[in-house]
Amino acid sequence: MTSLPALHRARAGDAVRAENPLRAGTVAFYPGSFDPLTIGHVNIVERGLRVFDRVVMALAHNVNKQAMFTLEERRDHIREVFAHDARVSVTVFEGLLVEAAVAHGATAVLRGLRGVADFEYEFQMSTMNHLLAPELETVFMMTEKGHFFVSSQLVREVASLGGDVALLVPAPVLAALAARLRK
Ligand code: PNS
Protein backbone atom coordinates (compact mmCIF):
# COMPACT_ATOMS: atom_id res chain seq x y z
CA MET A 1 0.00 0.00 0.00
CA THR A 2 1.24 3.53 -0.77
CA SER A 3 2.29 5.38 2.38
CA LEU A 4 0.88 8.84 3.17
CA PRO A 5 4.31 10.52 2.96
CA ALA A 6 4.74 8.95 -0.49
CA LEU A 7 1.33 10.28 -1.56
CA HIS A 8 2.36 13.76 -0.50
CA ARG A 9 5.82 13.63 -2.03
CA ALA A 10 6.47 16.65 -4.26
CA ARG A 11 6.27 16.12 -8.00
CA ALA A 12 8.02 18.00 -10.79
CA GLY A 13 6.39 21.41 -11.10
CA ASP A 14 5.25 21.74 -7.49
CA ALA A 15 8.18 24.02 -6.62
CA VAL A 16 7.42 26.34 -9.51
CA ARG A 17 3.72 26.44 -8.65
CA ALA A 18 4.40 27.13 -4.99
CA GLU A 19 6.78 29.99 -5.78
CA ASN A 20 4.57 31.75 -8.29
CA PRO A 21 0.76 31.54 -8.07
CA LEU A 22 0.48 33.03 -11.58
CA ARG A 23 2.10 29.84 -12.87
CA ALA A 24 -0.35 27.58 -11.05
CA GLY A 25 -1.87 24.58 -12.75
CA THR A 26 -0.70 21.64 -14.78
CA VAL A 27 1.88 22.18 -17.49
CA ALA A 28 2.52 19.97 -20.51
CA PHE A 29 5.79 20.28 -22.37
CA TYR A 30 5.23 19.67 -26.10
CA PRO A 31 8.61 19.22 -27.79
CA GLY A 32 9.34 18.99 -31.47
CA SER A 33 11.04 20.43 -34.51
CA PHE A 34 7.87 22.09 -35.84
CA ASP A 35 9.60 22.64 -39.20
CA PRO A 36 7.05 23.81 -40.07
CA LEU A 37 4.11 23.89 -37.65
CA THR A 38 1.20 21.92 -39.15
CA ILE A 39 -2.53 21.64 -38.43
CA GLY A 40 -1.68 18.33 -36.74
CA HIS A 41 0.51 20.11 -34.17
CA VAL A 42 -2.13 22.81 -33.63
CA ASN A 43 -4.75 20.15 -33.00
CA ILE A 44 -2.56 18.38 -30.41
CA VAL A 45 -2.05 21.69 -28.56
CA GLU A 46 -5.78 22.48 -28.60
CA ARG A 47 -6.70 19.03 -27.30
CA GLY A 48 -3.81 19.11 -24.83
CA LEU A 49 -5.41 22.20 -23.30
CA ARG A 50 -8.47 20.11 -22.42
CA VAL A 51 -6.24 18.05 -20.15
CA PHE A 52 -3.56 20.54 -19.01
CA ASP A 53 -3.83 24.16 -17.88
CA ARG A 54 -0.90 25.27 -20.00
CA VAL A 55 1.10 23.92 -22.93
CA VAL A 56 4.71 24.94 -23.45
CA MET A 57 5.71 24.29 -27.04
CA ALA A 58 9.40 23.45 -26.99
CA LEU A 59 11.49 23.87 -30.10
CA ALA A 60 14.46 21.55 -30.04
CA HIS A 61 17.74 23.03 -31.12
CA ASN A 62 19.04 20.10 -33.17
CA VAL A 63 22.34 20.81 -34.91
CA ASN A 64 22.19 17.51 -36.81
CA LYS A 65 18.91 18.30 -38.54
CA GLN A 66 18.84 20.47 -41.65
CA ALA A 67 15.86 22.78 -41.12
CA MET A 68 13.80 24.73 -43.64
CA PHE A 69 13.00 27.53 -41.18
CA THR A 70 15.31 28.93 -38.53
CA LEU A 71 14.46 28.44 -34.86
CA GLU A 72 13.47 32.12 -34.65
CA GLU A 73 11.14 31.79 -37.65
CA ARG A 74 9.53 28.66 -36.22
CA ARG A 75 9.15 30.34 -32.84
CA ASP A 76 7.47 33.32 -34.54
CA HIS A 77 5.05 31.04 -36.43
CA ILE A 78 4.01 29.41 -33.15
CA ARG A 79 3.65 32.78 -31.41
CA GLU A 80 1.49 34.14 -34.20
CA VAL A 81 -0.76 31.09 -34.41
CA PHE A 82 -1.37 30.99 -30.65
CA ALA A 83 -1.30 34.75 -30.01
CA HIS A 84 -4.97 34.58 -28.92
CA ASP A 85 -4.33 32.01 -26.17
CA ALA A 86 -2.17 32.93 -23.16
CA ARG A 87 -2.19 29.29 -22.07
CA VAL A 88 0.22 28.47 -24.89
CA SER A 89 3.85 29.58 -24.79
CA VAL A 90 6.92 28.69 -26.78
CA THR A 91 10.49 28.08 -25.76
CA VAL A 92 13.68 26.89 -27.44
CA PHE A 93 15.76 24.26 -25.68
CA GLU A 94 19.11 22.61 -26.10
CA GLY A 95 20.24 19.41 -24.41
CA LEU A 96 18.02 16.93 -22.65
CA LEU A 97 14.29 17.26 -23.13
CA VAL A 98 13.52 16.05 -19.60
CA GLU A 99 15.73 18.73 -18.03
CA ALA A 100 14.04 21.49 -20.03
CA ALA A 101 10.59 20.09 -19.20
CA VAL A 102 11.25 19.98 -15.45
CA ALA A 103 12.80 23.48 -15.56
CA HIS A 104 9.50 24.72 -17.04
CA GLY A 105 7.48 23.16 -14.24
CA ALA A 106 5.97 20.51 -16.52
CA THR A 107 4.53 17.30 -15.12
CA ALA A 108 4.12 15.73 -18.54
CA VAL A 109 5.61 15.57 -22.00
CA LEU A 110 2.92 15.79 -24.68
CA ARG A 111 3.33 14.02 -28.04
CA GLY A 112 1.03 13.19 -30.92
CA LEU A 113 0.85 9.68 -32.39
CA ARG A 114 -0.16 9.28 -36.02
CA GLY A 115 -0.07 5.52 -36.09
CA VAL A 116 2.16 2.47 -35.84
CA ALA A 117 4.92 4.16 -37.86
CA ASP A 118 5.39 6.66 -35.01
CA PHE A 119 5.02 4.11 -32.26
CA GLU A 120 8.45 2.48 -32.17
CA TYR A 121 10.36 5.79 -32.00
CA GLU A 122 7.96 7.34 -29.49
CA PHE A 123 8.00 4.23 -27.28
CA GLN A 124 11.80 4.30 -27.19
CA MET A 125 11.92 8.02 -26.42
CA SER A 126 9.29 7.90 -23.70
CA THR A 127 10.97 4.89 -22.06
CA MET A 128 14.35 6.65 -22.11
CA ASN A 129 12.80 9.86 -20.78
CA HIS A 130 11.08 7.91 -18.00
CA LEU A 131 14.41 6.37 -17.04
CA LEU A 132 15.99 9.84 -16.90
CA ALA A 133 13.11 11.53 -15.06
CA PRO A 134 10.59 9.06 -13.55
CA GLU A 135 8.49 11.94 -12.17
CA LEU A 136 7.72 13.12 -15.70
CA GLU A 137 4.97 11.28 -17.59
CA THR A 138 4.66 11.17 -21.38
CA VAL A 139 1.08 11.64 -22.56
CA PHE A 140 0.26 10.62 -26.13
CA MET A 141 -2.67 11.90 -28.09
CA MET A 142 -3.82 9.99 -31.13
CA THR A 143 -3.94 12.29 -34.12
CA GLU A 144 -7.42 13.17 -35.30
CA LYS A 145 -8.47 10.92 -38.16
CA GLY A 146 -8.23 13.66 -40.77
CA HIS A 147 -4.64 14.45 -39.78
CA PHE A 148 -2.93 11.06 -39.68
CA PHE A 149 -1.10 11.65 -42.99
CA VAL A 150 0.12 15.16 -42.12
CA SER A 151 3.81 15.55 -41.34
CA SER A 152 6.21 18.49 -41.47
CA GLN A 153 8.45 16.49 -43.77
CA LEU A 154 5.67 15.87 -46.33
CA VAL A 155 4.54 19.49 -46.11
CA ARG A 156 8.09 20.66 -46.90
CA GLU A 157 8.40 18.21 -49.78
CA VAL A 158 5.00 18.93 -51.36
CA ALA A 159 5.36 22.70 -50.95
CA SER A 160 8.86 22.76 -52.44
CA LEU A 161 7.57 20.81 -55.47
CA GLY A 162 4.83 23.39 -56.02
CA GLY A 163 1.96 21.44 -54.42
CA ASP A 164 -0.84 23.11 -52.49
CA VAL A 165 -0.49 22.69 -48.71
CA ALA A 166 -3.10 25.29 -47.75
CA LEU A 167 -5.20 22.71 -45.90
CA LEU A 168 -2.25 21.34 -43.95
CA VAL A 169 -0.66 24.37 -42.28
CA PRO A 170 -1.91 27.44 -40.41
CA ALA A 171 -2.09 30.71 -42.40
CA PRO A 172 1.17 32.31 -41.11
CA VAL A 173 3.09 29.17 -42.06
CA LEU A 174 1.49 29.08 -45.52
CA ALA A 175 2.58 32.69 -46.08
CA ALA A 176 6.10 31.90 -44.86
CA LEU A 177 6.33 28.86 -47.15
CA ALA A 178 5.18 30.92 -50.13
CA ALA A 179 7.73 33.64 -49.35
CA ARG A 180 10.52 31.10 -48.87
CA LEU A 181 9.78 29.27 -52.11
CA ARG A 182 9.51 32.49 -54.15
CA LYS A 183 13.16 33.23 -53.33
O1 PNS B 1 9.45 16.76 -33.96
P2 PNS B 1 10.54 15.77 -33.72
O3 PNS B 1 11.75 16.11 -34.57
O4 PNS B 1 10.08 14.36 -33.89
O5 PNS B 1 10.99 15.93 -32.18
C6 PNS B 1 12.04 15.14 -31.64
C7 PNS B 1 12.42 15.61 -30.22
C8 PNS B 1 12.76 17.08 -30.22
C9 PNS B 1 11.26 15.36 -29.29
C10 PNS B 1 13.65 14.74 -29.76
O11 PNS B 1 14.66 14.82 -30.74
C12 PNS B 1 14.20 15.19 -28.42
O13 PNS B 1 13.64 14.92 -27.39
N14 PNS B 1 15.34 15.92 -28.43
C15 PNS B 1 15.98 16.44 -27.24
C16 PNS B 1 17.24 15.65 -26.86
C17 PNS B 1 16.91 14.55 -25.91
O18 PNS B 1 16.44 14.73 -24.81
N19 PNS B 1 17.17 13.30 -26.38
C20 PNS B 1 16.84 12.12 -25.66
C21 PNS B 1 15.38 11.77 -25.91
S22 PNS B 1 15.09 10.13 -25.53
Q: Has residue 15 got a pLDDT over 80?
A: no
Question: How far is the centre of ligand 1, averaged over its atoms, from the C-alpha of 7 (Å)?
Answer: 31
Q: Has residue 13 got a pLDDT over 70?
A: no
- Specify the pLDDT at position 63: 80
Q: 75 catalytic, yes or no? A: no
Cα Rg, the chain, nearest whole Å? 17
Residue 44: inside a domain: yes
Residue 69: inside a domain: yes
Structural element, H or E, at residue 40: helix 39-48
C-alpha to C-alpha distance for 134 and 148, rounded to whole angstroms: 29
Q: Domain containing 136 — which CATH number?
A: 3.40.50.620
Residue range 29-88, pLDDT digits in tens = 999 999 999 999 999 999 999 999 999 999 999 888 899 999 999 999 999 999 999 999
Global pTM reads 0.88
List the residue whose alpha carbon is closest to atom 1 of ligand 1: 32
| Inter-residue contact 28 to 136 (CB < 8 Å) | no
Residue 124 Cα: closest atom of ligand 1: 22
- Specify the pLDDT at position 83: 98
> Considering the chain, what is the average pLDDT of its residues?
90
For the chain, the residue count is 183
Provide the domain limits for residue 121: 24-182
Residue 12: inside a domain: no
Residue 3: inside a domain: no
Residue 132 Cα: closest atom of ligand 1: 22
How many domains, the chain?
Answer: 1
